[in-house]
């Protein structure tokens, strides 16, 4: 993998192949999406006992299940019998999860409970231990509404891993944080890293978001703190315009794929980016209020319209970044601003380290 990277680290970004190559994508799945805490979903989307939610992480089918204690657990989404994908759409399965193929049945804690006629007339052949064949569980961490999993099971505790991000939210009363709207963008024709990098740097904001924001570039600064990189802007109160993005903001990420924005005085936005293949990524954004305030339908619609427009402006750019990767000019990775894109460089260095280690 080291051949993917330029020696001249001062100038070049990741080479084009890091955004287009199927083998590189597979390596990302096997390394950084397997070994780290990966953001996979929103706890509020599983409100009831028996709710299940299938996801794909690093190409691996996973199912989230809410159990009788109100906890969400993650399992490999495959029946222990013939390895059929157990859950293929979000749904409530009631008290038990049953495979549609031969009715093998699991509790909401993943324990195998029934294997009808597996031994012929007997349900349990001799020497077959039900307790050995439950669903295979996956390490999970839930930070407020945000669900992370670690496929390898070897990551440090989530609190230790995410400490550089979490400390930015010391002053938030999470009891008051409420999801008020979801924007589902479906699939975007770009590599997942372009969506991350575009979010991480503030350089493009004044050019791409001319109509949606009024944040002067010079008031921004970048943030590089271990696995948390991004940027921020602090504005004086009199400069703030609530209906646009002209407010004090912190744009933060947690490597590899968690994105969270804080918008003063009372809003958080979180986006989920799910890599589908080297050139396609699914994206969803959930908008939260942070002060427990009531928001009218009109206010919610205004927030959705604003954020829809902002994301569409970014998607258009990210899709053209992808198209530019077909040019021989992009082979060496283009250039990064040493000032405004040093946070992008930090993200790319984490990518490079993860796939070469």
- Chain contacts with Fe ion (rule: CB under 5 A): 314
Q: Which is nearer to Fe ion, 314 or 341 (CB)?
A: 314
Task: Answer whether 251's CB lies under 8 Å from 222's CB.
Answer: no
Dist. CA 337–CA 328, nearest whole Å: 21
By beta-carbon proximity to Fe ion, the closer residue of 34 and 212 is 212
Residue (172 or 183) nearer to Fe ion, CB: 183
Residue 5 or 307: which CB sits closer to Fe ion? 307
Question: In DSSP terms, which residues pair with 271 in a beta bridge?
Answer: 259, 285
Q: Which is nearer to Fe ion, 58 or 336 (CB)?
A: 336
348 Cβ neighbours under 8 A, 6+ residues apart: 13, 14, 193, 197, 336
Q: Which residue is nearest to Fe ion (CB)?
A: 314
Cβ-based neighbour number of residue 281 at 10 Å: 25
CB 195 within 8 A of CB 318: yes
Q: In what order do the strands lie in the sheet with 105-107?
A: 96-98, 105-107, 112-114
Nearest approach in angstroms of CB 255 to Fe ion is 19
Consecutive H or E run containing 262 = strand 258-263
Nearer CB in complex with Fe ion: 279/314 = 314
Closest CA to 289 of 210, 194, 179, 196: 179
The answer to whether 119 and 125 have CB atoms below 8 angstroms apart is yes
Instruction: Give me the residues paired with residue 283 across strands.
Output: 186, 273
Nearer to Fe ion (CB atom), residue 115 or residue 257: 257
Neighbour-count burial of 146, counting CB atoms closer than 10 A to its CB (0-12 exposed, 13-18 middle, 19+ buried): buried
Least distance to Fe ion, CB of residue 172, Å? 23
For residues 191 and 22, what is the distance between their CA atoms, to the nearest angstrom? Answer: 11
Beta bridge partner(s), residue 56 = 61
Smallest gap from Cβ 206 to Fe ion, in A, equals 10
For residue 184, the minimal CB distance to Fe ion (Å) is 19
Q: How far is the CB of 41 from Fe ion (least distance, A)?
A: 23
Nearer to Fe ion, 101 or 207 (CB): 207
Minimum CB distance to Fe ion, residue 204 (Å): 6
For the CB of residue 342, give the shortest distance to Fe ion in the complex, in Å: 17
For tokens 């390490």, the residue is 139
User: Shortest distance, CB of residue 251 to Fe ion, whole angstroms?
Assistant: 9
């Amino acid at each position: 993998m080291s051949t993917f990277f330029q020696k001249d680290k001062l100038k070049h970004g990741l080479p084009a192949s890091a955004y287009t190559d199927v083998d590189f994508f597979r390596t990302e799945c096997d390394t950084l999406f397997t070994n780290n805490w990966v953001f996979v979903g929103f706890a509020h989307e599983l409100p009831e006992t028996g709710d299940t939610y299938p996801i794909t992480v690093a190409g691996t089918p996973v199912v989230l299940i809410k159990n009788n204690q109100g906890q969400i657990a993650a399992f490999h989404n495959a029946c222990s019998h013939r390895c059929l994908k157990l859950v293929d759409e979000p749904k409530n399965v009631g008290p038990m999860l049953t495979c549609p193929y031969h009715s093998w049945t699991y509790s909401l804690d993943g324990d195998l409970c029934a294997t009808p006629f597996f031994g012929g007339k007997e349900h349990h052949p001799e020497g077959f231990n039900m307790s050995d064949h439950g669903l295979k569980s996956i390490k999970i961490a839930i930070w407020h509404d945000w669900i992370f999993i670690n496929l390898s099971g070897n990551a440090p505790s989530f609190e230790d891993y995410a400490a550089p991000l979490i400390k930015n939210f010391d002053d938030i009363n999470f009891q008051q944080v409420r999801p008020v709207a979801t924007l589902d963008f479906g699939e975007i024709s770009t590599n997942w890293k372009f969506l991350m990098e575009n979010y991480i740097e503030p350089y493009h904001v004044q050019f791409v978001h001319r109509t949606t924001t009024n944040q002067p570039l010079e008031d921004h600064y970048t943030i590089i703190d271990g696995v948390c990189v991004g940027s921020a802007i602090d504005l004086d109160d009199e400069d703030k315009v609530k209906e646009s993005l002209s407010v004090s903001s912190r744009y933060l990420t947690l490597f590899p794929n968690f994105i969270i924005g804080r918008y003063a005085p009372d809003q958080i936005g979180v986006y989920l980016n799910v890599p589908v293949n080297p050139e396609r990524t699914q994206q969803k954004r959930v908008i939260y209020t942070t002060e427990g305030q009531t928001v009218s339908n009109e206010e919610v619609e205004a927030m959705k319209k604003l954020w829809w427009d902002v994301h569409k402006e970014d998607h258009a750019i990210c899709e053209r970044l992808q198209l530019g990767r077909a040019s021989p000019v992009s082979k060496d990775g283009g250039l990064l601003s040493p000032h405004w894109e040093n946070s992008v460089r930090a993200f790319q260095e984490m990518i490079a380290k993860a796939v070469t280690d």
